[in-house]
């Protein structure tokens, strides 16, 4: 799978980041994405399963197999992240379809950093470069992510315990 990645401290975001995303974890996650063998959007449901196979041995839990670990808030909130590494305090969200969910994904990461004992220090959002709508029309996704994250979160991130977010943009 083809990908590109950037953190909030890198272009085009250029946030003022004091604690950048850990380089070793970044390389591990990027390598996992490159090993996923998906050739079209119709196979996207296999993405999480394949990703889990690549990162499980590195301390990442998958919400499909360990819901309680991936639930970062009180159980009655019924929210969880797709993958979570408790030792590294890294939460991973995989977005396969709607651009509007990216804002929700970042809010999940921010909320995880605001818990009584912060559970999230670093976030990862993996999303497509383009996505196909139910109408069949393809939409550019990556540029909207950059503009919306910059608009909504530039000032907020500095006031949380969320250190940095890695965005991995995939393409077939």
pLDDT at residue 134, rounded to an integer: 62
Nearest one of 159, 148, 168 to 16, comparing CA atoms: 159
pLDDT at residue 108, rounded to an integer: 86
pLDDT at residue 151, rounded to an integer: 85
pLDDT at residue 138, rounded to an integer: 65
CATH of the domain at 86: 3.40.91.20
Phi-psi region of 131 (alpha: psi -120 to 50; beta: other; left: phi over 0): beta
- Our count of domains for the chain comes to 1
CA 82, CA 67: separation in Å to the nearest integer? 9
**pLDDT block averages, 10 residues each, the chain of length 172:** 91 93 98 87 80 97 92 74 95 78 82 80 90 65 81 81 93 76
Structure tokens belonging to residue 2: 């083809």
Domain that holds residue 61: 2-171
pTM for the model stands at: 0.90
In contact, 97 and 139? CB cutoff 8 Å: no
pLDDT at residue 107, rounded to an integer: 84
pLDDT at residue 136, rounded to an integer: 64
């Amino acid at each position: 799978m083809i990908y590109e990645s950037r953190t909030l401290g890198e272009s085009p975001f250029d946030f003022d980041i004091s604690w950048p995303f850990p380089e070793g974890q970044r390389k591990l996650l990027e390598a996992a994405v490159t090993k996923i063998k998906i050739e079209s959007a119709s196979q996207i449901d296999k993405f999480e399963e394949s990703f889990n196979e690549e990162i499980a041995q590195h301390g990442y839990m998958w919400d499909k197999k360990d819901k309680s670990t991936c639930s970062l808030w009180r159980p009655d909130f019924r929210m969880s992240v797709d993958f979570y590494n408790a030792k590294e305090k890294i939460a991973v969200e995989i977005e396969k379809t709607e651009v509007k969910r990216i804002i929700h994904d970042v809010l999940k990461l921010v909320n995880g950093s605001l818990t009584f004992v912060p559970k999230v220090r670093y976030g990862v959002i993996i999303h497509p470069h383009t996505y196909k709508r139910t109408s069949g029309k393809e939409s550019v996704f990556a540029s909207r992510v950059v503009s919306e994250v910059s608009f909504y979160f530039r000032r907020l991130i500095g006031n949380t315990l969320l250190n940095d977010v890695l965005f991995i943009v995939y393409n077939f």
